[in-house]
Amino acid sequence: MKYLLMMHHPGRGPYQIAQWQKDDLLGHIGFMKDFAKRLAAAGELVAAEGLAGPDQAKLVRADDDGRPVTDGVFPETKEFLVGYWIVDVESTERAYAIAAEASAAPGPGGRPLKLAIEVREVMSAPPKELTG
């Protein structure tokens, strides 16, 4: 089963990672690289990416003519997505275990960040109750 694991920043202003001490930033990046390598070696990693902060984001909708209409930037959002993993695992429990490990990524001073990781199954087909 595939799951999307989304790491959320709790808010409190723009994403602060670029302002961390160099050793803290390198420790965090090293953890994330090692984490991805371990998931890939286990055959569980489908994709993973870090995302730019909300100060670079736009919401896009189609206008009446189908052209894009943008709204934003929203640098003071309450909570925002900072990265994600798509994993292919045998059980929901394994997806939760991976999410918990990602949540413990080190932050300033090497302390675990304990960021919220939202876990959602990637649907391969519509639910049976909708298709008969």
Cis omega (within 30 of 0) on the bond before 73?
yes
Tokens of 8: 């959320």
Task: Give, as one character, the DSSP assignment of residue 121.
Answer: E
What pLDDT shows up at residue 99? 97
pLDDT of 75 = 52
Maximum C-alpha span of the chain: 56
**pLDDT of 101:** 97
**Of 97, 124, 85, 72, the residue nearest 7 (C-alpha):** 85
pTM of the model: 0.83
Long-range contacts formed by 14-20: CB under 8 A, 24+ apart = 14/53, 14/54, 14/55, 14/75, 14/76, 15/53, 15/54, 15/55, 15/80, 15/82, 17/82, 20/107, 20/108
Domains and CATH numbers, the chain: 2-131 (3.30.70.1060)
What pLDDT sits at residue 57? 81
Residues sharing a CB contact under 8 Å with residue 45, sequence separation 6 or more, in sequence order: 36, 39, 85, 86, 87, 88
- In terms of Cβ atoms closer than 10 Å to its own Cβ (0-12, 13-18, 19+), residue 96 is middle
Per-residue tens of pLDDT for the chain, all 132 residues: 999 999 988 766 566 787 899 999 999 999 999 999 999 999 999 999 999 887 788 888 899 999 988 887 665 557 788 999 999 999 999 999 999 999 999 999 999 999 999 999 999 877 777 776
Residue-by-residue DSSP string for 62-82:
E-TTS-EEEE---TT-SSEEE
